[in-house]
Amino acid sequence: MSNSNSIEYSNKELVAALLRDKEIHAGHWVLAAKLRFSAMNIGQEADGSDASPAGVVALNGIKLENVPEPLPYSVNAAEANPKS
């Protein structure tokens, strides 16, 4: 869904756009995330009198991974970005 304030891509649309950007024309590719995990205390009361340990996951980047065979969620680079 897109509006004047944001543009949204499905995973397959994003993979296809990245394949075109990186000029990849062969193989089957999937989207992967680079995540960073951390722990911290998160306040439970507005006055700061109570906190609880919590886990935090940060998106540190995205990457394309080449898979050896087609998967239901992979993108065929030959179709998404054919050689001209």
Q: Which contiguous run of DSSP H or E holds residue 51?
A: strand 51-67
Q: How far apart are CA 51 and CA 71, in angstroms?
A: 44
State pLDDT tens for residues 24-77. Answer: 999 999 999 999 999 999 988 888 788 999 999 999 999 999 999 999 999 999
**Helix boundaries (H) for the chain:** 11-21, 77-80
Residue 36 inside a domain? The answer is: yes
**Domain, as residue range, for 16:** 11-80
Residue 56 inside a domain? The answer is: yes
Q: Using an 8 Å Cβ cutoff, are 79 and 28 in contact? A: no
* Count of structural domains within the chain: 1
Which residue in 67, 63, 76, 57 sits closest to 32, CA to CA? 63
> What pLDDT score does 63 carry?
96
Q: How far apart are CA 76 and CA 84, in angstroms?
A: 16
Average pLDDT over every residue of 11-25: 97
Residue 6 inside a domain? The answer is: no
* Six token digits for residue 15: 């993979």
